Chain A
Amino acid sequence: MLRSKLTQAACAAVQRTFSTSPKVLATKQLTVRDALNSALDDELARDERVFILGEEVAQYDGAYKVSRGLWKKYGDKRVIDTPITEMGFAGIAVGAAMAGLRPVCEFMTFNFAMQAIDHIINSAAKTFYMSAGAVNVPIVFRGPNGAASGVAAQHSQCYAAWYAHCPGLKVVSPYDSEDARGLLKAAIRDPDPVVVLENELMYGVAFPVDDKVVDKDFVVPIGKAKIMRPGKDITIVAHSKAVETGLLAAAELAKKGIEAEVINLRSIRPLDTATIFASVRKTHHLITIENGWPQHGVGAEICARIMEDQTFFELDAPVWRCCGVDVPMPYAKTLELNALPRVHDVTEAALKVLGGKAGKAVAAAK
């Protein structure tokens, strides 16, 4: 297919632009937790206006130990324990940002940030526009987002779509250590409010990182996706922990001779449609994975974006979404396991989307 060949050439350039942390250069292993911790440490050291506040961030060393050691190093002024009053401390953080500081407001989890969402949207996101560009609000809201393990419905929800819905906010959602470190540092330096959606289940996972990632000036640009694995047959777009599902699915598909390209969104807003579109122009097939609910979700937005773009005509099959099941998260282990998209769900979706092509690919592989 001519169209396919032309776009492949274009995409080759894109692939080179987005490094995939080549393992040959990797000098050390870094957990996502340490990546976040070192990012906070760097930025506290770099800018006197940066401070952290939240529940248990100081003396307890962080509910998930993300801020471990920082209170000892920077003291009461820079690392502030709050009472369990999300709306109040989020408002205080936003007020401090309006008045020139650079708060990093930690929510123990984003489930609790619903108590404070008014300040995230109405106080932080809208003020720059409402004031006609007079008052910008440089603040970071961060914490674990999405389903953890065995914590049931009120503690297992993805807020990516909620925040990404709102103009005035930037929303990032790191997957690995490079993402976590680079995106958090970029978020703290950004003059606008940034929501950093982490994942508790990833905190303890170590990833190889090369020297540039641990450099104090390393940042990951907000709004740029990363191709984690190049491929020519189908594009898989995911963010946060779902990237792992995507990579595992891609490995399974590879056994069937199908080369899936896995895109790690990194940013939910801005959404890097350029990278997604370029990939689709190459693969002509697309599935999305997210651990959030389907309706009005990140995948739904990607579908809409594709349909409104010329890229729609590059598709050889409908886009398909792999999402969390449309129910509140149950506690029971088996039910919970079935509530999120798993690797076999993704491979099944991929085979469905590829249709007859999947058979051809399998035959070719043999």
Chain B
Amino acid sequence: MLRSLSRISELPIVVRQLQKSASAAQGGLSKTSTNNNYATEATIEVNRPFKLHRLDEGPATTVKLTKDEALKYYTQMQTIRRIETAAGNLYKEKIIRGFCHLYSGQEACAVGMKAAMRDVDNIISAYRVHGWTYLMGVSPNGVLAELTGVQGGCARGKGGSMHMYSPNFYGGNGIVGAQVPLGAGVGLACKYKGNGGMCLALYGDGAANQGQVFEAYNMAYLWKLPVIFVCENNNYGMGTSSERASCNTDYYTRGDALPGIWVDGMDVLAVRSATEFAINYVNTHGPLVMETNTYRYSGHSMSDPGTSYRTREEIQEVRQKRDPITSFKELCIELGLITADEVKAIDLKVRKEIDEATAFAKSDAELAVSHLWTDVYSNNLEPKLRGPISYNLDHIQERKGVNH
């Protein structure tokens, strides 16, 4: 653990170099005032520089942030945090069963990427997808109800934590690494259809060593597929630190011929800027790898307290110095984009929404048992499915699926 601690301490101290408009003359930051001290737009330098692999130019390091955007990103990140807190509690209450992998600490990655995505763009991820499901249009009710396995869940309770879907969101995937070639395939479909879209294929630092990830890089490069391979590096694949699992922990360089960008995954604006650059890049040149350096506060899953392979001090240090929500909030207040009162109002609203969603997820009913034998095939050709002792179940067809 000493090693991982020392690695963390090697990172530049994450205190945003906030420069108030008063010091804008020093460069890097300005804001447009409307009245009093409040701003409607600000220009900001991203906190930690991007690192580039096989790229002459990288993402913009100076970014604009409007008040509306600030409110939106803060609300989204806070909602994800709240959903995960609620999920953790529901799990402890034994209402959520089986798997439950929390995204707390990594919110800026998803919110930053989503902020850059256009309507034609797609995303597929692994098994830590509650936040992404919400960002891709499923209500907190739909997410939490899926976790509690009730019919109001976005997959009607049939998928659970890892298997949620929505338009342009091709799901969580429970098989580590499998989503990466799937995402390349979604990118292939974008290119094939010529719709100008692209796909974000997300995986963790653990999955980054899977063979099929390299197979997908290779073909995506050969075929110039519009795919951004995103390695969300939270430093641990389950309980194995990245140094213990990867011969090269510079994940943004691991695409070999594919260009790469390292981005501070705790900085929503840096992630947004990098993703905007990457979207433009992959649509003209083909795939690239983007590493978002981030951290997960919880253990790998609910059965992992997350303290045997790292120290509590390490987690505390990240929470205090790098938390993506706190740092963004402080930045926005400092810039005058959001007031402390507005933050409070958002916090209250989000808390209320998630409390209500939690209550819904607890009170909604499971699907009727007949749904066990519903929608096994889009075009069912087997008149009877087998029950436990005989072929006595009539396959029920309620939905056909989107691909016809």
Contact = CB atoms under 8 A, between A and B. Distances in A.
B376 interface: yes
B402 to A, nearest CB: 6
A130 B181 contact: no
10 contacts: A51-B192, A88-B212, A88-B215, A94-B185, A95-B183, A96-B185, A122-B178, A133-B375, A270-B381, A308-B390
A134 B185 contact: no
A75 interface: no
B144 interface: no
B288 to A, nearest CB: 17
A270 B381 CA distance: 7
Interface residues of B, number: 56
A82 interface: yes
Given A100-B403, A133-B399, A192-B377, A308 B186 contact: no
Contacts of A358: none
B272 interface: no
A148 interface: no
Task: Find the residue from A90, A95, A130, A138 having the highest chain B CB count within 10 A.
Answer: A95
A135 B401 contact: yes
Contact of B185 (A95, A133, A138): A95
B89 to A, nearest CB: 25
Interface in A125-171: 127-138, 167-168, 170
A98 B183 CA distance: 10
Given A167-B376, A168-B377, A92 B219 contact: yes
Contacts of A190: 379
Q: How large is the interface on A (under 10, 10 to 19, 20 to 34, 35 or more residues)?
A: 35 or more
B379 A191 contact: yes
B184 A92 contact: yes
B378 A89 contact: no
Contacts, number: 181
A296 to B, nearest CB: 15
A85 interface: yes
B237 to A, nearest CB: 18
Contact of A83 (B124, B158, B219): B219
B182 interface: yes
User: Which of B173, B223, B376 is packed against the most chain A CB atoms within 10 Å?
Assistant: B376
Contacts of B178: 91, 118-119, 122-123
Contacts of B404: 136, 138, 191
A228 to B, nearest CB: 21
Contacts of B193: 100-101
Contact of B403 (A80, A85, A97, A130): A97
A123 B173 contact: yes
A123 B126 CA distance: 12
B192 A96 contact: yes
A328 interface: no
Contact of B189 (A85, A88, A101, A130): A101
